């Protein structure tokens, strides 16, 4: 038979008698057993013109076996090659998978994250991150200025510990599964350690400790606010996480409600609170309010409390200014009265102050220049209540001069003797008489407390 490449098909396999079939093998049913071929006799040597003796003269040469043209099953050989190709492909895939698996066992992966402050979210630069494998091997990383850290590790389970100066440490764990080529980010938020700050709150003027002062510390870095209260000895203690705080101190109404506090990481912070002081001040001029004149030096200024009790007296300086420095007594009204021995009028005004507005400015005008040598201001009040008496009549040396105004005030001047006889009367009150002595060049100050009649 001819080869398949020449279009012939070897039918031996199909007939069950392939070249490799053993002797005595069964012949497929319906197929005649082939007769053994006799051995051929030696052919005679032909002459040049003679035909072989075994070839008949009249018969043509023997024909070849018939050819089977066209497509035919390729047989078991082709099936075997297909199976072999599939097996080779499977083996290749398994080999690649095994190689990847083995590679994943020995190839490192990068694991990292960010270390930040729990309260502020700011990076914790310099934080130390230790990653410990199951076999005890430790890999260390340091957080950069933005808080980022990273290490290269293999597969398996790992323990992580994070520490930093002034912070409480923390721990965590993670697993890098086999076959994974990365791991999720591991971020850490650290709580800043609190440090104790103590101090004493005292009077800035006397140094005396102040009890029951509430101090509120506000962090400039975003940490929680903290409050503290002073004890009987003026001391306090507080735990602060940050380094920079401002604060307010309040409690006793006699002291300023707020002050600035800069802790700056120190262990002590003493606070000196200035006691609240009232300041009533102003300028005395000539002229009137519509047309104020020049400043007046040497004008006398008298101060009364809200009950018309006389408190203090002062004299204006070369700039015409005056001031009264007063202790805190809660919200209060003061009556300011001014006069000058050489000017026609006296002037007065109420000044109101409280803890939030402790300074009152009151300017006064005393009219025109007058040639007088003696001058006095009188205030008439109810002896029982201290209230000003409006409309009380004042007679000087037997002559009616003037009635008191709504503030209980009146004034007079003369150029005669250095004393005057004064009589004061008012409806519903007992009359009162007195002698008023004058000091040359100064305004006299007279207080009259009238007793209710009957």
Express each pLDDT in 48-97 by its tens digit: 454 444 444 544 444 444 444 444 455 556 677 777 777 877 877 766 66
Q: Check if the beta carbon of residue 138 is closer than 8 Å to that of residue 151.
A: no
Mean pLDDT within 377-385: 93
User: HSE on the CB side for 300, CA within 13 Å?
Assistant: 19
Ranking 34-38, 155-159, 183-187, 359-363 by mean pLDDT, the lowest is 34-38
Evaluate if residue 360 carries a pLDDT over 90: yes
Mean pLDDT within 371-396: 89
Evaluate if residue 210 carries a pLDDT over 70: yes
Percent of the residues in the chain that have a pLDDT greater than 70, as a whole number: 76
Most confident residue range from 123-127, 246-250, 450-454? 123-127
What is the distance between the alpha carbons of residues 241 and 123, in angstroms, rounded to a whole number?
A: 16
Ranking 14-23, 227-236, 346-355 by mean pLDDT, the lowest is 14-23
Strand order in the sheet with 245-250: 226-229, 214-219, 245-250
Ranking 60-64, 120-124, 279-283, 421-425 by mean pLDDT, the lowest is 60-64
Evaluate if residue 335 carries a pLDDT over 90: yes
Nearest to 289 by CA among 362, 222, 375: 362
pTM reported for the whole predicted model: 0.53
Evaluate if residue 37 carries a pLDDT over 70: no
Nearest to 213 by CA among 203, 224, 222: 203
Backbone angles phi, psi at 157, to 5 degrees: -100, 145
Percent of the residues in the chain that have a pLDDT greater than 90, as a whole number: 42
pLDDT band at 8, cuts 50/70/90? very low
Structural element, H or E, at residue 108: none
Evaluate if residue 279 carries a pLDDT over 70: yes
- Return the pLDDT at 105: 53
Ranking 4-13, 142-151, 263-272, 288-297 by mean pLDDT, the lowest is 4-13
Q: Which residues contact residue 110 at a Cβ distance below 8 angstroms, ignoring those fewer than 6 apart?
A: 150, 151, 152, 182, 183
Q: Which residues contact residue 146 at a Cβ distance below 8 angstroms, ignoring those fewer than 6 apart?
A: 114, 123, 125
pLDDT band at 384, cuts 50/70/90? very high
Mean pLDDT within 357-369: 93
pLDDT band at 26, cuts 50/70/90? very low
- Return the pLDDT at 36: 54
Ranking 41-45, 48-52, 365-369, 377-381 by mean pLDDT, the lowest is 48-52
In total, the chain counts a number of residues equal to 454
Evaluate if residue 38 carries a pLDDT over 80: no
Mean pLDDT within 98-116: 71
- Return the pLDDT at 191: 92
Evaluate if residue 183 carries a pLDDT over 80: no
Mean pLDDT within 327-334: 90
Mean pLDDT within 238-253: 82
Ranking 3-12, 122-131, 412-421 by mean pLDDT, the lowest is 3-12
- Return the pLDDT at 142: 95
Evaluate if residue 166 carries a pLDDT over 60: yes
CB burial string 248-285: b at 16+ within 10 A, e below: bbebbebbbeebebebeeeeebebebebbebebbbbbb
Average pLDDT score over the chain: 80
């Amino acid at each position: 038979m001819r080869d398949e490449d020449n279009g012939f098909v070897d039918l031996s396999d199909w007939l069950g008698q392939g070249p490799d079939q053993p002797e005595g093998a069964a012949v497929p049913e319906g197929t005649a057993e082939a007769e053994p071929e006799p051995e051929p006799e030696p052919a005679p040597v032909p002459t040049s013109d003679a035909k072989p003796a075994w070839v008949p003269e009249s018969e043509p040469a023997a024909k070849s076996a018939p050819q089977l043209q066209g497509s035919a099953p390729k047989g078991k050989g082709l099936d075997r090659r297909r199976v072999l190709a599939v097996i080779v492909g499977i083996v290749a895939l398994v080999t690649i998978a095994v190689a990847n698996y083995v590679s994943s066992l020995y190839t490192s992966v990068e694991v990292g994250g960010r270390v930040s402050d729990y309260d502020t979210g700011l990076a914790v630069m310099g934080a130390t991150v230790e990653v410990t494998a199951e076999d005890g091997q430790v890999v260390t990383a340091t957080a950069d200025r933005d808080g980022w850290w990273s290490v290269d590790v293999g597969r398996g389970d790992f323990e992580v510990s994070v520490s930093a100066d002034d912070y409480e440490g923390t721990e965590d764990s993670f697993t890098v599964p086999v076959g994974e080529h990365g791991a999720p980010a591991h971020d850490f938020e650290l709580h800043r350690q609190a440090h104790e700050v103590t101090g004493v709150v005292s009077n800035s003027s006397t140094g005396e400790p102040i009890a029951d002062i509430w101090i509120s510390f506000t962090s400039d870095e975003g940490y929680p606010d903290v409050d503290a209260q002073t004890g009987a000895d003026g001391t306090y203690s507080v735990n602060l996480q940050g380094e920079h705080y401002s604060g307010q101190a309040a409690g006793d109404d006699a002291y300023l409600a707020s002050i600035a506090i800069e802790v700056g990481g120190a262990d002590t912070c003493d606070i000196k609170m200035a006691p609240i002081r009232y300041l009533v001040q102003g300028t005395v001029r000539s002229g009137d309010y519509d047309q104020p004149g020049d400043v007046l030096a040497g004008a006398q200024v008298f101060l009364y409390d809200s009950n018309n009790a006389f408190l203090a007296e002062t004299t204006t300086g070369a700039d015409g200014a005056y001031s009264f420095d007063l202790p805190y007594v809660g919200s209060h009204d003061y009556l300011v009265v001014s006069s000058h021995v050489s000017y026609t009028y006296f002037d007065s005004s109420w000044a109101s102050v409280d803890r939030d507005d402790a300074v009152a400015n009151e300017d006064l005008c005393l009219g025109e220049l007058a040639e007088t040598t003696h001058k006095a201001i009188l205030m008439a009040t109810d002896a029982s209540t201290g209230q000003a008496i409006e409309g009380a009549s004042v007679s000087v040396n037997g002559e009616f001069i003037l009635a008191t105004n709504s503030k209980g005030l009146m004034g007079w001047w003369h150029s005669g003797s250095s004393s005057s006889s004064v009589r004061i009367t008012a409806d519903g009150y007992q009359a009162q008489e007195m002698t008023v002595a004058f000091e040359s060049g100064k305004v006299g100050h007279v207080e009259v407390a009238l007793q209710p009649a009957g």
